[in-house]
Structure 1
Amino acid sequence: MDQKLQMLLDTVRRLVRRGAYPNLSKVLAKSHPADIAHLFSYLVPKEQQILFNLIENTEMAASVLSELEHSTGAFLLEQIGRETITEVLQEMPYDDAVEIIRNLPEEIAEEILTTMQDEHSEEIEQLLQYAEDTAGGIMSTEIFSLREETTVQQAIADLQQAKDVEMVFYVYVTDAHGHLVGVMSLRQLLTVSPATQLKDVMVTDVINVRTDKDQEEVAQLVAKYNILAIPVVDEWNKLVGLITVDDVIDVMREEATEDIYKMAGASEEELLYGYKSFKVAQLRLPWLITNLFGGVITGYLMWQFKATLSEVIALITFIPVITGMGGNVGGQSATIVVRGFATGRIDLSSLRQVILKELRVGIIMGAVCGITVGLVALIWHGNPFLGLVVGLAMISAMTVAASMGALAPTFFKRVGIDPAIASSPFVQTANDITGILIYFGTATLFISHLH
């Protein structure tokens, strides 16, 4: 946090503690909505509620809500009167209002939609029909478009009068039936003869998405083509909405956060429960139970090799090293593949190269670590065959771990399951089991030389 925000946070906390709410209202009135929203991540729910209730300007409150996590915004709105909720939501862009309403309890959401003015209610209900994580669910319906017969002079005049649209990065062109047929940049619009019709100068190859397109794929398209906005069309190619770069940034942040939570065996749903320990524990336990059973299986395998372990007790020295390094390598490979899927850098057509690359990396890292730990075993216990066993096991375990780290997310992707869930519980457990099998299997082969 920079110095300015830190000073603002300290001031807000001090005024809340003192109950100096009039002074706090004045501070908020002079602050930028984005700065106020940033403070909420450092405040407990009670402080968040106090702060939000002190924002007197409805437009300011709407701007703050637009910058917050949607679940947090819904929680704050639940604490105020229904009439005030309606007023705040009416000041928000429709796409942001829809996300807030999705997170409200169903009975409150229905009441709000009934209370809203017809125009707002119709737009929001239309957006609510689309799935939450699709282009239709995140698009804005406030879009600037013109008919193809419009002249450049008239287009500029219309653009100057376009006060209701959120952002205008490009001029989208439609035919008489509302079908998207072209696009023009604002620079192009200003450098063409005023009498020219848009259909004579527009670009007809328009990058667009359907309403049912997954939001992550939309973000990848915007990043790939370096555009500031992307139009949304229905199944008949009619222009129905627009997704701007600020929406895409939100999607990227949400998707990255979701992947990180899943890879850690947690869930973003925890944010909804605040400090409710039992609820949070309930969300995390399934992943931990998976690792628990994996640990039990690992212990069972070690018990099966008890004869080998009892004959050469020195083998116990390197069990944590073999399993730990395998888990680390597998986790690295899984993270690379999961992130590659998320950003679009890896797809099913390039998987073979990715898996072979991770296999080669595993062999190289395994060789370096295997030689190192083998020398440690030789120096420590004075047995060259123990060093050979530990070194070979390390090379094999790390190679298998790297391959499994790439293969597990790939398998989940192919069967239609989010690959992020494979990275932590599945890969870690699988690598512990294979590491133990490889280590003790190798030791059993050389048991006669290890005494």
Structure 2
Amino acid sequence: MEQKLQRLLETTRRLLRRGAYSNLTKLLGKIHPADIAHLFRYLNDKEQPLLFGLISEPEVAGYVLAELDHAVSARLLAQLNKQQILELLQNMARDDAADIVQNLPEELAAEILGLMKDEESEEIEELLQYGEDTAGGIMATEIFSLREDLTVREAIQALQDAGDVEMVFYLYVTDEHNHLVGVLSLRQLLTVSPETVLRDIMIRDVISVRVDMDQEEVARVVEKYNILAVPVVDESNKLMGLITVDDVIDVIREEATEDIYKMAGASDEELLLGYQAFKIARLRLPWLLTNLFGGVITGYLMWRFKVTIRDVIALISFIPVITGMGGNVGGQSATIVVRGFATGKIDMSTLRRVLLKEMRVGLIMGMVCGLTVGLVAWGWHHNPYLGLVVGIAMTVAINVAATMGVLAPTFFKRIGVDPAIAATPFVQTANDITGILIYFTTATLFIRYLH
């Protein structure tokens, strides 16, 4: 599959360079829209509009826009005239259209909404009221539901008459005020008497989510109960929309990507900036500056212990391994905690057990690594006390690093900051500082035996 997409990308680029647009139009007509969307990830800001302009079918263009990052889709649309934008948005699901409109310049977005039919613009404006990362922001509003007082025969007829609405294997049942009261499967509908009333066979315990629930929480609900879709309700339990498993997969991918970028001190915005070096550097610099100042503090601490270093120059040999191991262990613990928070496997109620577990693991790893590096120091510099100092410092530093890896993300989460931010830049910097302090404090205590 990857080889096929690679060949497709090479062919597309070659045709774009040659200006063979008619050939490229024919090629796009034979490609699945998802594969066309895949090509955009590897094209620059000049190539993307050219390729998008060659998609002849509005339905295909709408599908491609829905598959792209919303900011990229908005940028492509902004280069078209208003009538073209309107036509493309009308060929998309309302939730995808709302996400793209949200990323358009405000003035243009207002004009487009004004040109839409009243019903369409109202639906999109309603979706725009919800946060982009909430259940309301990702739900489909064109949802099929059945009244609880219908018979099975009437329900099947309604199902056959249904138009282009979001539908899965579950059928949601509502009362006369559109409150969600039950759910049943297609199999249930087809295996009972046609005169049976839906309220008599529906399952009343419906798994649903609120419109203001965070999309990560929605993904956890779908994962926990192994369902293909989840209905979205408001505070009065009125059925507002539906989130299907394909939307959930997108959420999981987006959130995982975002966490990975943050843990590296970067941002997923870089993907939208293409090759704009100065803008990308501006996104990365804050966290690099955090490490920079952390390094300066570490250097200052070493300067404060200059007498200890001068008297026992052999101590310099183990500075990299003390700080490096602490940073690695802290990063491992932080990654586990951040991912645990993201998946819901770790929360404040289980945090104490996680902390104690990481401390025990840190102690075991610290003792093994401390013993190893202590023996190396003894054999290298022929001083058992130097081995003892290095071994103790390594043991304590690793244990502290493991503890820091749990506490730092927890602190960030408590103050309302995404804990992924703390995973690498903050934890590594903090562990460098604490590692140096532990190492040279231990060395100073044993200074008389190290000469």
What corresponds to 2:249 in structure 1?
249
Cα distance between partner residues in 2 of 1:395 and 1:161: 71
What corresponds to 1:357 in structure 2?
357
Task: Say whether 1:179 aligns with 2:140.
Answer: no
Query: Secondary structure of the residue that 2:365 maps to in structure 1?
Result: helix
What corresponds to 1:431 in structure 2?
431
Cα distance between partner residues in 1 of 2:255 and 2:283: 19
Cα distance between partner residues in 2 of 1:268 and 1:109: 24
Task: Say whether 1:346 aligns with 2:346.
Answer: yes
What corresponds to 1:207 in structure 2?
207
For the Cα contact (< 8 Å) 1:144–1:168, is it kept in 2?
no
Cα distance between partner residues in 2 of 1:277 and 1:242: 41
The RMSD of aligned alpha carbons is: 1.1
What corresponds to 2:24 in structure 1?
24
Query: Secondary structure of the residue that 1:45 maps to in structure 2?
Result: coil
| Residue-pair matches, total | 451
Deviation at 1:270?
2.3
Q: What is the identity, as a one-letter code, of the residue corresponding to 2:4?
A: K
Q: What is the identity, as a one-letter code, of the residue corresponding to 1:174?
A: T
Query: Secondary structure of the residue that 1:42 maps to in structure 2?
Result: coil
Deviation at 1:95?
0.6
What corresponds to 1:84 in structure 2?
84
Cα distance between partner residues in 2 of 1:176 and 1:217: 29
Cα distance between partner residues in 2 of 1:417 and 1:185: 41
What corresponds to 1:194 in structure 2?
194
What corresponds to 1:35 in structure 2?
35
Deviation at 1:289?
1.3
What is the percentage of aligned positions where both structures have the same residue? Answer: 73
Structure 1 length-normalised TM: 0.98
Deviation at 1:286?
1.3
Cα distance between partner residues in 2 of 1:251 and 1:90: 23
Task: Say whether 1:168 aligns with 2:168.
Answer: yes
Q: What is the identity, as a one-letter code, of the residue corresponding to 1:107?
A: E
Deviation at 1:273?
2.4
Cα distance between partner residues in 2 of 1:17 and 1:176: 60
Structure 2 length-normalised TM: 0.98
For the Cα contact (< 8 Å) 1:93–1:166, is it kept in 2?
no
Q: Which moved more, 1:400-409 or 1:377-386?
A: 377-386
Q: What is the identity, as a one-letter code, of the residue corresponding to 2:249?
A: I
- 1:299-330 CA-to-partner distances (Å, cap 9, x unmatched) read 11111111100000010011011001100110
Query: Secondary structure of the residue that 1:79 maps to in structure 2?
Result: coil
Deviation at 1:437?
0.5
What corresponds to 1:240 in structure 2?
240
For the Cα contact (< 8 Å) 1:134–1:211, is it kept in 2?
yes
Cα distance between partner residues in 2 of 1:78 and 1:177: 40
What corresponds to 1:417 in structure 2?
417
What corresponds to 2:336 in structure 1?
336
Cα distance between partner residues in 1 of 2:167 and 2:204: 22
For the Cα contact (< 8 Å) 2:168–2:228, is it kept in 1?
no
What corresponds to 1:399 in structure 2?
399
Deviation at 1:117?
2.0
Cα distance between partner residues in 2 of 1:167 and 1:370: 60
Cα distance between partner residues in 1 of 2:303 and 2:334: 29
Cα distance between partner residues in 2 of 1:104 and 1:152: 45
Q: What is the identity, as a one-letter code, of the residue corresponding to 1:77?
A: L
Deviation at 1:338?
0.3
Q: What is the identity, as a one-letter code, of the residue corresponding to 2:105?
A: P
What corresponds to 2:323 in structure 1?
323
What corresponds to 1:284 in structure 2?
284
Structure 1: state its 5+ residue gaps.
none
- 1:167-217 CA-to-partner distances (Å, cap 9, x unmatched) read 323110011111110001112212222111110010000011111111111
What corresponds to 1:444 in structure 2?
444
